[in-house]
Amino acid sequence: MTTLHSNSASGEALTGGGRFENTGATIAASRPDLLSKVSTAQQRVLEFLLAGLTEPQIAEKIGRSRHTVHDHTKAIYSALNVNNRVQLVLLFSQPPASTTPNFQIRPAATSQTTNTHQPISDVVFTQARPLAQNLSVA
């Protein structure tokens, strides 16, 4: 197996070490709402998955068998309702869903004066959803 090395002075391998692991942890930390759905052991595996490591590489890093890592991966997919790593990464790349609706309903204006000709808006849109939220992965 060929190992690629970075141009850094330490010669750190590009097989998921250092900054790549930190990237996975950073991505995972950006979505605490999703992290709360998996166990602590699964969170550790999740960070490595998001960093792009393979299951055998993760097993070596955490000192567990690749079968254990595979079981954690399946449990993560199930808990987060995704089917594969692409969907997992897409899920973590989206901003958290807002708990407030994207629009507000106002009651119809009842004017005491007659024929004021003011425009009346029943629905006021406050925020547009990003296009990525409208797309689903097949």
What confidence tens digit (pLDDT) does each residue in 60-111 have?
999 999 999 999 999 999 999 999 999 999 999 888 876 555 555 555 555 5
The answer, as to whether pTM is greater than 0.85, is: no
CA distances 94 to 6, 30, 31, 44, 84, Å, are: 30, 10, 9, 20, 16
Does residue 134 fall inside a structural domain? no
Q: What confidence tens digit (pLDDT) does each residue in 29-74 have?
A: 888 999 999 999 999 999 999 999 999 999 999 999 999 999 999 9
Of residues 117 and 52, which shows the higher confidence score? Answer: 52
The structural domain count of the chain equals 1
Average pLDDT of every residue of the chain = 74
Residue 110 lies in a domain: no
Does residue 58 lie in a domain region?
A: yes
Structural domain including 80 reads 19-93
- Looking at the domain assignment, is residue 80 inside a domain? yes
13: DSSP letter: B
